């Protein structure tokens, strides 16, 4: 697994990506990762996990997340064992928290060459959680 930095962007290869904090890899996470790998293999693309450091909840509602289940290094190792091709870690801070959903999707497409997004049904993203699965699907079709 290659850990991407901003120096690696934009990617040359198209990807199938998933996005989340992945704080502890439970069965639900593993199902999503399996779908990412399966779709990437089927479409001859690379698998990509996009995660955050720190956990967005720690920044947005610290009272709800007293501590991480696993640290970023452990997360990296677990994702590597899952057979993911690329990992991109976004520094979650005040500036990033204000990015609109459409701007975030544009970043995924233009820089990470994300052609397909695999996430849970209740996934939300962007400033004030303005984006959801339906917006991502619409953007993916455009």
Tens digit of each residue's pLDDT (9 = 90 or more) over 1-27: 999 999 999 999 999 999 988 887 888
- Per-residue model confidence as pLDDT tens digits over 60-87: 777 776 677 888 899 999 999 999 999 9
Give residue 85's region: left, alpha or beta (phi > 0; psi -120 to 50): alpha
Which one is the CATH code of 2-141: 3.40.630.30, 1.20.1200.10, 3.40.50.620, 3.40.50.300? 3.40.50.620
Domain ranges of the chain: 2-141
Spatial distance between the Cα atoms of 6 and 40, rounded to a whole number of angstroms:
22
In 44-115, which ranges are continuous DSSP H helix? 56-60, 72-81, 94-97, 101-112
Q: Can you give the pTM of this predicted structure?
A: 0.89
């Amino acid at each position: 697994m290659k850990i991407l930095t901003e120096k690696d962007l934009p990617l040359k290869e198209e990807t199938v990506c998933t996005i989340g904090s992945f704080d502890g890899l439970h069965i639900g996470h593993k199902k999503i990762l399996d779908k990412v790998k399966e779709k990437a293999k089927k479409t001859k693309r690379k698998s990509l996990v996009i995660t955050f450091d720190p956990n967005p909840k720690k920044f947005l509602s610290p009272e709800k997340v007293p501590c991480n289940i696993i640290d970023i290094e452990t997360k990296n190792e677990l994702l590597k064992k899952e057979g993911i091709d690329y990992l991109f870690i976004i520094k979650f801070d005040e500036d990033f928290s204000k990015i609109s959903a459409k701007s975030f999707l544009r970043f995924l497409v233009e820089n990470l060459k994300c052609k397909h997004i695999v996430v849970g049904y209740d996934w939300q993203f962007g400033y004030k959680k303005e984006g959801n699965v339906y917006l991502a699907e619409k953007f993916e079709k455009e």
